[in-house]
Amino acid sequence: MYWQKKEECRPRAELEKLQLARLKNTLTRVATNVPFYRNQFHKLGLNPENIKSLEDIRKYPFTLKQDLRNNYPYGLFAVPLRDVVRLHSSSGTTGNATVVGYSREDIITWSNLVARILCGAGLTPNDVIQIAFGYGLFTGGFGLHYGAERLGASVIPVSAGNTRRQIQIMQDFKTTALVCTPSYALKLADTMMDMGINPNGLSLRFGLFGAEPWSEEMRQEINERLGIKASDNYGLSEVMGPGVAGECEEFHGQHINEDHFLVEILNPKTLEPVKPGDIGEVVITTLTKEAFPMIRYRTRDLTRMITEPCPCGRTFHRLDRFVGRSDDMLIIRGVNVFPLQVESAIFRIDGTQPHYQIIVDRKDNQDTCTVKVEVSESYFFDEMRKQRTFIDGIQKSLAAELGLSIDVKLVEERSLERFEGKAKRVIDNRIL
Ligand code: DLL
């Protein structure tokens, strides 16, 4: 077992004291070692010595993705390169790459925090963990790998792709836990069906999925199809990679590793804290990172904080399931739409497959939106009337969820693209 009970169940008052000491230390270190932060703090007349409470963080400036780009590659490092033992990079879908670095101590912390999350999800050293995240500059593969080794499990570093081989290995090596994106878990389930393999005949029991938003309905679907217990975990390269937060076996929100990260939930417009329990943007300050500390990083990820005590005993607050990213939000005819809302609405209808694509366009100055939904063959009815009723059902579910009427197009099973990493569900022709 890798249950860091003392750290994970600290009384809140003690935890906050520790956070404050670590915050002060981090701010002092960046003010000393990173000219970018030093200049900003200087301009605002901020001296980390004056930090008296956790709320004082609000006086400090935010860090944006653009700041990482402007300081490419090593401008935000707080230690000399000789003390950096690992580099990762996020290519991002827009703009230049960004680079993040880890000291020897950072790698140890990272492994510990990921091990915590694996343990929290129910894994033990007896598990055989198949890591189907890409190994490379992406933090998913190596991050989960080191954590799984730290847990003491048997790790299969199969990396992403080659789906049939993944399944062969799962069978032969008696994999008990699968680690990948939720969308890839579904692709694996499809391919198992093609290969005539019944997931219930495998040793698989757990799935640890993350790196992209997914709905509760998607979790049910994966659990049923693979016969596993799927849990959610969250992280991002800029603040570490996986290991920031993860679900315990209550499967209700992800405990934040708060002894290492200070999390604020802010209104993305006013940048003031939201009311407790409201949805806002997650803003993270690292508390222990040596090589690449981050001060108030604006993640663009939207969710709410759950502060009620968790039956598991951990005192760390939880992040509720993510709504999406503010930059993934679509505005269709003036209505805000998150791709995940579409996912939830579709999954509620019997007969749809968990694969969809959202296509947005503009015709005659009017936004149009069509959702392509895969359905199994038996749902292509010969009778027009039946077909219409089925489509109407999906449209109604979407309208109820979104407050917007959008077109639905049924497509054949397996006709939409499948993903080995993060899924891409939206094609917005308005911005092409
Ligand atoms: O995706 C780190 C990671 C790897 C997390 C493996 C979990 C498992 P990036 O490539 O930098 O890092 O992408 C980070 O992915 O800001 C979120 O928008 C999204 N994301 C990550 N985990 C979740 C999640 C990794 N559980 C970006 N739910 C983040 C929703 C997630 N979105």
Please tell me if the CB atom of residue 233 comes closer than 6 angstroms to any atom of ligand 1.
yes
Q: Are β-strands 297-303 and 324-325 bridged in parallel, bridged antiparallel, or unpaired?
A: antiparallel
Please tell me if the CB atom of residue 232 comes closer than 6 angstroms to any atom of ligand 1.
yes
Distance 366 CA to ligand 1 centre (A): 33
For the four alpha carbons of 50, 8, 250 and 327, in that order, the dihedral sign comes to positive
The one-letter amino acid code at 428 reads D
Please tell me if the CB atom of residue 210 comes closer than 6 angstroms to any atom of ligand 1.
yes
The architecture CATH gives domain 330-428: 2-Layer Sandwich (3.30)
Superfamily covering domain 1-326: ANL, N-terminal domain (3.40.50.12780)
196-215 residues labelled b (16+ CB within 10 A) or e (exposed): eeebeebebbbbbbbbbbbb
Burial of 233 (0-12, 13-18, 19+ CB in 10 A): buried
Please tell me if the CB atom of residue 182 comes closer than 6 angstroms to any atom of ligand 1.
no
Instruction: Please determine whether the domains at 1-326 and 330-428 fall in the same fold group of CATH.
Output: no
Of 117, 178, 301, the residue with max ligand 1 atoms within 8 A of its CB, to mutate for a pocket test, comes to 301
* pLDDT for 95: 66
DSSP 202: S
pLDDT in tens, 200-211: 999 999 999 999
- Which residue owns the Cα nearest ligand 1 atom 31? 212
Distance 282 CA to ligand 1 centre (A): 12
Distance 188 CA to ligand 1 centre (A): 20
Q: Per the structure block, which two tokens stand in for 305?
A: 């904080």
* pLDDT for 431: 72
Please tell me if the CB atom of residue 110 comes closer than 6 angstroms to any atom of ligand 1.
no
User: Residue 267: which of 278, 253, 257, 251 has the closest Cα?
Assistant: 278
* pLDDT for 91: 72
Distance 210 CA to ligand 1 centre (A): 6
Distance 232 CA to ligand 1 centre (A): 10
Burial of 64 (0-12, 13-18, 19+ CB in 10 A): middle
The pTM for the full model equals 0.96
Distance 181 CA to ligand 1 centre (A): 9
* pLDDT for 2: 80
- Which residue owns the Cα nearest ligand 1 atom 29? 236
* pLDDT for 94: 58
Please tell me if the CB atom of residue 299 comes closer than 6 angstroms to any atom of ligand 1.
yes
DSSP 62: P
Burial of 312 (0-12, 13-18, 19+ CB in 10 A): middle
pLDDT in tens, 137-166: 999 999 999 999 999 999 999 999 999 999
* pLDDT for 92: 61
Distance 163 CA to ligand 1 centre (A): 22
CA 151 to chain centre: 21
Please tell me if the CB atom of residue 234 comes closer than 6 angstroms to any atom of ligand 1.
yes
Please tell me if the CB atom of residue 422 comes closer than 6 angstroms to any atom of ligand 1.
no
Q: What are the extents of the domains in the chain?
A: 1-326, 330-428
User: Which ligand 1 atom sits closest to the C-alpha of 144?
Assistant: 6
* pLDDT for 379: 84
Q: With the CA atoms of 282, 297, 255 and 166 taken in that order, what torsion angle do they form, in degrees rounded to the nearest 10?
A: 100
The CA–CA distances, whole Å, from 113 to 2, 138, 320, 395 equal: 10, 18, 19, 43
User: Which ligand 1 atom sits closest to the C-alpha of 300?
Assistant: 16
Please tell me if the CB atom of residue 175 comes closer than 6 angstroms to any atom of ligand 1.
no
* CB proximity list for 24: less than 8 A, separation 6 or greater: 48, 49, 51
- d(CA 208, CA 181) in angstroms, rounded, equals 8
Low-confidence residues of the chain: pLDDT under 70 = 1, 92-95, 432
Please tell me if the CB atom of residue 328 comes closer than 6 angstroms to any atom of ligand 1.
no
